[in-house]
A and B are shown apart, each in its own frame.
Chain A
């Protein structure tokens, strides 16, 4: 494998546009492809959320601009251009996409279900995983372990392009007759497995097929990551000199490898039920609806940790750099992640406390779920410990990391409520859960992604992003994020169910004490619009900086890890010579050292070369 990498390094042949930018085999280019892809899908997923937030704040009111006027809705009086347009649409014979999904500009309840289903599906499988695992995993792994590329570059390219194939299949679902999948991102059977019960036909089929393709893409990535990290570490890069981001990605790759086959088989069973007349999940044919939930959550609970572990790892990279201090408790950070990975296989039942599963099982799942809060707490305390007696630089990445830590704390703590089976009786399937999800995944992972993009951008593109714009984006996002998701806890405590298109159909929500759910939903929606619009600042910053950003030096943050040892822009093959590793990844402010950081590549002792032989990769010496 090393030989192959050498080869491609030595022959500096000119590459065509197609082999350089499209079917690239270079891990850095593939990482960047995933980055751009993920950012675009982030806007798509966000756009869907804007639509259903409108409906939740102002149920059954026509959308602005494309919707009809009040006068037309109530009296049929044509007053605006949109009214006229709708008049025409209703008059002709064919039923257009808009007429089916948003008649008069009002979101149809069936379309509402597709909207939140696809919002979550896109955010989980097409945004957070591609960004964390696809973009950062690809870009960082070879650079941070000191090698020239991934073990299997072709597999890597295929992983990206099967991801695009999966995306095309998923997006096609919006345009098939009878609409896109509408059974929630959790796709509970038999709603998802019997077409007559949901009225959704090919939408749900495409949903299943696309997720299987996406899973294959992840599988190819994870095999690559595992092989690369085990076999291709630079000399001296022992396991306990690995940066925490690499540890996190390594663990995540293993989780993906083991979790995906389970959900792939479950999705295949749904397809059989839908298309081949089997009845795995429908009780009427002797099937078992809970089987789907067990299979799905056995996959999806590890999946939610796949969504956070790389974020934790990336935060643990940025924190020491801007605190100028070693990470507190490096080894306990590693063991906490390993513990999370193990425990994540035995907690899935906490999603099923009220499902009709044997209540005695609920008790054991409550216990394991409580246990998984322990390593999460350990990580939080270690991040706090890292700040103790530090020298903190409030750069854009650091602001995002501090947000990550504090938002993750809220998400972890709300998890305790839900892990408690009797309390979960009441808050299960309410907005309390929605708040929890978003504090961990948006507040956690997405803020880590924001920070990570800014932090590694200079290495990716050889230019800096704009710091002022970065700070504006951060502060608006941070405040609006809390404006959107904190009040959702309160709605949940008031009993507000999730996945309902019109909360005002319920007395108890109208009469919610001390404030009705209605104005709270309006407040949330207004904050959501601000949050959504603010993401354009990120997009502008990224795309503008790719071409116009301030040119970056090789190591602008004075960081110790190997990616900063590579030249900027990073050439094909990454390093001039494979680096030797002499230190752990977080040697900041070492007493008696001249600078406040010691790169992993700096030999021990006086002389530049010689002495302090590096330990070969794979050796256990620390």
Chain B
């Protein structure tokens, strides 16, 4: 049974918006599961009941306008309903104008064959100055605080993916794409690259460390003043 229960396979969610994504996933899972079971049940009943039997002829039925209207309307309502329901989630996650403010950390993430470069603006809050902190494959953020990320790439397209955050965004050379998240649980999570980027794509891997507030301060004090 666990093979059929898709939602059970989702990794633990540790972002504020992740639950919304999971809820949509679960909703679609149940709708499609019910449709699938219903369609298969009808199919199986029909092929058993209406299998060839000596002396019984098929019935000449060319169609039914009523049925066509019913199933066209029903499907349209369901899929449009789903589209409408998912608007708020999409807006929250991807529209820069809707991003929550007051970030606890702002980081530039730069994908390049085959590493993630993280750049912190340092104490002065500006990139491109001497106090910038550059780390390879290490992203440190505070828990329960909004994090703003400026995503870009050096060479080819990469994709920033943190499964537990339910966040994925392609990184494009020549562009800065803004994204945000708020992690809800301290720990270390992998940041695989999800877009084919060359022979080293497999294994292109960074680490996101979510710190408690105190730990994050301690980490900052240690690294930002170097």
Q: B-contacting residues of A (Cβ < 8 Å)?
A: 109-110, 112-113, 182-184, 188, 190-191, 194, 197-199, 282-284, 288-290, 323-326, 328-332, 354-356, 359-360, 362-363, 366-367, 370-371, 373-374, 377-378, 380-382, 384-385, 387-394, 402, 405-406, 409-410, 413-414, 416-417, 419-423, 425-426, 428-430, 486-487, 489-490, 493-495, 497, 499-502, 505-508, 512-514, 588-591, 596
Contacts and interface: CB of A to CB of B under 8 A. Distances in A.
Contacts of A356: 169-172, 175, 177
Nearest to B159: A429
B166 interface: yes
A203 B35 CA distance: 45
Interface SS of chain A: helix, strand, loop or mixed? helix
Interface stretch (B17-25, B138-146, B213-221): B17-25
Contacts of B3: 486-487, 490
Interface in B134-172: 155-157, 159, 161, 163-164, 166-172
Contact of A392 (B52, B91, B189): B52
B198 A426 contact: no
16 contacts: A112-B202, A197-B113, A326-B63, A328-B63, A354-B170, A360-B95, A371-B76, A374-B79, A402-B47, A423-B21, A423-B25, A426-B21, A429-B195, A505-B205, A507-B190, A514-B9
A374 B7 CA distance: 25
A191 B68 contact: no
Contacts of A428: 168, 194
A279 to B, nearest CB: 11
A113 B174 contact: no
Given A113-B201, A486-B3, A590 B68 contact: no
Interface stretch (B36-44, B100-108, B115-123, B124-132): B36-44
Contact of B46 (A366, A373, A384, A495): A384
A386 to B, nearest CB: 9
Contacts of B192: 497, 500, 506
Contact of A406 (B2, B43, B72): B43
Contacts of A324: 57-58
A430 B159 CA distance: 12
Contact of A588 (B7, B36, B56, B58): B58
Contact of A429 (B32, B67, B173, B194): B194
Contacts of A194: 156
A350 B173 CA distance: 21
B202 A420 contact: no
B80 to A, nearest CB: 6
B197 to A, nearest CB: 6
Interface of B: 2-3, 6-11, 20-21, 24-25, 28-29, 31-32, 35-36, 39-40, 42-43, 46-47, 50-53, 56-64, 67-68, 71-72, 75-76, 79-80, 82-83, 86-87, 89-91, 93-95, 113, 155-157, 159, 161, 163-164, 166-175, 177, 189-190, 192, 194-203, 205
Contacts of A393: 52
Contact of A363 (B72, B79, B90, B172): B90
A390 B79 contact: no
A385 B9 contact: no
A389 B174 CA distance: 61
Contacts of A402: 43, 47
Given A423-B21, A494-B9, A497-B161, A197 B39 contact: no
B183 to A, nearest CB: 15
B9 A493 contact: yes
Contacts of B93: 422, 425
A370 B77 CA distance: 10
A406 B40 contact: yes
Contact of B196 (A191, A330, A514): A191
B50 A391 contact: yes
B28 A416 contact: yes
